[in-house]
Homo-oligomer: A and B are copies of this chain.
Amino acid sequence: MIDLRIDLPGLKLKNPVIPASGCFGFGEEFAELYDLNQLGAITIKAATLEPRIGNPTPRIAETYGGILNAIGLQNPGVEVIIKEKLPWLEQFDLPVIANVAGDTVDEYVEVSRRLAGSEVIKALELNISCPNVQKGGMAFGTDPDTAAELTAEVKKAAGKPVYVKLSPNVTDIVKIARAVEEAGADGLSMINTLLGMRLDLRSGKTVLANGTGGLSGPAIKPVAIRMIYQVYREVNLPIIGMGGIQDARDVLEFLYAGASAVGIGTANFINPYVCPEIIRDLPGVLAEHGFNSIQEAIGYAHR
Contacts and interface: CB of A to CB of B under 8 A. Distances in A.
B202 A289 contact: yes
A219 B197 CA distance: 12
Contacts of A64: 65, 218-219, 221, 244
Given A170-B171, A221-B64, A199 B289 contact: no
Contacts of A256: 199, 201, 204
Nearest to A254: B199
State the main secondary structure of chain A at its contact with B.
Answer: mixed
Nearest to A249: B201
Contacts of A303: 204
A301 B219 contact: no
| This chain's copy number in the assembly | 2
- Of A169, A201, A289, the most chain B CB neighbours within 10 A belong to A201
A204 B300 contact: yes
A225 B199 contact: yes
A253 B253 CA distance: 34
Contact of A253 (B198, B219, B252, B300): B198
A287 to B, nearest CB: 13
Interface residues of A, number: 42
A51 B7 CA distance: 51
B171 A222 contact: no
A222 B252 contact: no
B198 A222 contact: yes
A196 interface: yes
Nearest to A196: B222
A215 interface: yes
A223 interface: yes
Closest 7 CB pairs of A and B: A196-B222, A65-B65, A64-B218, A219-B219, A197-B226, A63-B222, A64-B65
